[in-house]
Amino acid sequence: MKIDLFNYHDYRSFLKDWFEQARENQSLSLRSIAEKCELSTGYLPMILAEKRNLSEKSFLKLQKVLNLKQEESNYFKLLLTLSDGALSQERLTAFEEIKKIRSFQKKSVKELEVFKYLSNWLHVAIREMAFRRDFQLDA
């Protein structure tokens, strides 16, 4: 049974589960996967341990083994940006793009509502103010 990428919000969690399944079903080790992808054998464990970030170039090599469809590949790249993006604007743009992906929308209807709510900081601020004991309804 293939692991569904759209159930994940973190690319590392997906990779951990995918590698575990590959180990159980196909007897593949991280070392053999790294060799197939022409990556350093220590690189994948460092990514999983959050000591290194997965580069775009390394993802393209790893994609051969992951067998991701186009929409899954796009989603994975957005997860990369969301997790490891240097600029907050990059991460926000990736977040907005994730909300547009159909497979994500189908899998995560409630989460999509939460994303929409949290993406407007004003909603969160008003809600938090309303829960304060000293909150008064008048302006």
Q: Is the pLDDT of residue 28 over 80?
A: yes
Out of 1.25.40, 3.40.140, 1.10.260, 1.10.238, select the CATH number for domain 5-130. Answer: 1.10.260
pLDDT of residue 112: 60
pLDDT of residue 108: 61
pLDDT of residue 113: 67
Q: Where are the domains of the chain?
A: 5-130
Whether the Cβ atoms of residue 47 and residue 12 lie closer than 8 Å to each other: yes
How many CB atoms neighbour CB 40 within 10 A? 12
For residues 54 and 46, give the distance between their C-alpha atoms in angstroms, rounded to a whole number: 9
* Predicted structure pTM score: 0.73
Q: Packing angle between helix 88-100 and helix 70-84, nearest 10 degrees?
A: 150
Q: What percent of the chain has pLDDT over 90?
A: 39
pLDDT digits (tens, 9 = 90+) for 47-95: 999 999 999 899 999 998 998 999 999 999 999 998 888 888 888 888 8
Structure tokens at 40: 């350093």
